[in-house]
Amino acid sequence: MIVLNYHELVEASPSNAWCLTHETFDAHLALCGDRLVSPQTFLEHCPDPKASRTGAVLLTFDDGFLSDYTHVYARYVTTGRIPGFMSFIPVDFVGAPGRMNWEMIEEISRDGVAIGSHGMAHVDLTTVSDVELGRELTVSKSMLEDRLGRQVALFAFPYGRFSRRVWDAALRAGYTHLFTIQLGYHRGFEPFLYSRLCLTNNMDAEYMRQHLFDPDAMRGFAWRISSRLGIYRQLMRLRYR
Ligand SMILES: [Zn+2]
C-alpha cells in the first residue's frame, strides 16, 4: 500500500511548498482512481506482507489545517468520494487561525477520519530533552483521547524527523503505528514504522504518477543495492540510532 501525506489545501496561491491547490489535489485523486482505501482498511491489512505491495492508497493530512474539515472532509468524505483519511493533529495548534477546533476534530473522528497525534508544539523530537519528548508524546495522546473518547495509537513525527530514541519513547507511550516521510511502499524498516510520500507543490503530476505505479523505483540506487544484499534494515538502524 502507498501512503500519501498532505498538509494545507487552498483555492489558489499556495503560501509554501507544502500547501497545494484544490486543483492539484483533484488531479491527484484522479490518478488514484479507485485505489483509495479507508484508514480502517489500511490498519487491517498493513501488517500483512502479501497485502503490503498492492497499489491501494491511503491519504493522510498533517498539522490539523482547517482545510481537513472544510475541504477534504466536507466535500469528499461526506459525499463518499474518498473513503476517509488520517489526520495528524499538533495539539497546541487546535483552534488557532487556519486550524481546526476541537468540535471539528470530534466531528470528523466520528465519521471516517482516523485522528492521530502530531505532538504538542510541532517540534523536531530528535532535538528535545527526554522530559520534553515524553510530554510531547503522552500529553498530546491523553488530550486527544479525552476529547475523542477513543484510543489514539497513531503518531506522525513532526517534520518527519525521528531517531531510535524517539521511536522507543513513542512505543513506550502506547503508540503502535508511527508515520515517517520516506519513499516507497508503506512498510518501513521496522514493523511499527510506516513510510509516506510527502507531496509538495514543486512535484508535478508525472512524479506523483511514477510514485503511484512504481514506488520502489523512486527510492534510488542505495536502497535497491542494500535491499538486494539484505542490509537495508541494518543500514537504517545505524542511520537513525
Ligand atoms: Zn507537521
pLDDT confidence of residue 229: 82
Q: How confident is the model at residue 217 (pLDDT cuts 50, 70, 90)?
A: confident
Whether the CA torsion 152, 122, 211, 80 is positive or negative: it is: positive
- Mean pLDDT check: name the lowest of 73-82, 139-148, 232-241: 232-241
Q: Regarding predicted confidence, which is higher, 232 or 9? A: 9
DSSP strands (E only) in the chain: 2-6, 9-10, 20-21, 57-62, 85-89, 113-117, 154-156, 177-179, 193-194, 197-198
pLDDT confidence of residue 181: 92
pLDDT confidence of residue 233: 84
Q: What's the whole-number mean pLDDT along residues 80-89?
A: 97
Cβ neighbours, 10 Å, residue 212: 18
CB 73 within 8 A of CB 66: no
Q: What's the whole-number mean pLDDT along residues 177-184?
A: 91
Of the candidates 212, 207, 152, the one whose C-alpha atom is nearest the C-alpha of residue 186 is: 212
Cα distance between the two ends of the chain: 26
pLDDT confidence of residue 236: 83
The CA 62 to ligand 1 mean position distance, Å, reads: 5
Percentage of the residues of the chain whose pLDDT score is greater than 90: 73
pLDDT confidence of residue 230: 84
Owner of C-alpha cell 466536507 = 74
The CA 158 to ligand 1 mean position distance, Å, reads: 5
Of the candidates 118, 90, 115, the one whose C-alpha atom is nearest the C-alpha of residue 180 is: 118
32-75 tens-digit pLDDT: 999 999 999 999 998 887 776 788 999 999 999 999 999 999 99
The CA 159 to ligand 1 mean position distance, Å, reads: 5
Owner of C-alpha cell 482545510 = 67
The CA 73 to ligand 1 mean position distance, Å, reads: 19
The CA 37 to ligand 1 mean position distance, Å, reads: 22
Q: What's the whole-number mean pLDDT along residues 16-27?
A: 94
133-168 tens-digit pLDDT: 999 999 999 999 999 999 999 999 999 999 999 999
pLDDT confidence of residue 223: 80
The CA 88 to ligand 1 mean position distance, Å, reads: 8
> What pTM was computed for the model?
0.94
The CA 24 to ligand 1 mean position distance, Å, reads: 20
Distance of CA 167 to CAs 142, 185, 195, 209, 237, Å? 18, 20, 14, 31, 12
Q: Residues 6 or more apart from 144 whose CB is under 8 A from it?
A: 89, 91, 115, 117, 152
pLDDT confidence of residue 8: 98
Percentage of the residues of the chain whose pLDDT score is greater than 70: 100
In order of their start, the domains of the chain are: 2-239 (3.20.20.370)
Of the candidates 74, 103, 100, the one whose C-alpha atom is nearest the C-alpha of residue 87 is: 100
Alpha helices per DSSP H over 79-121: 102-109
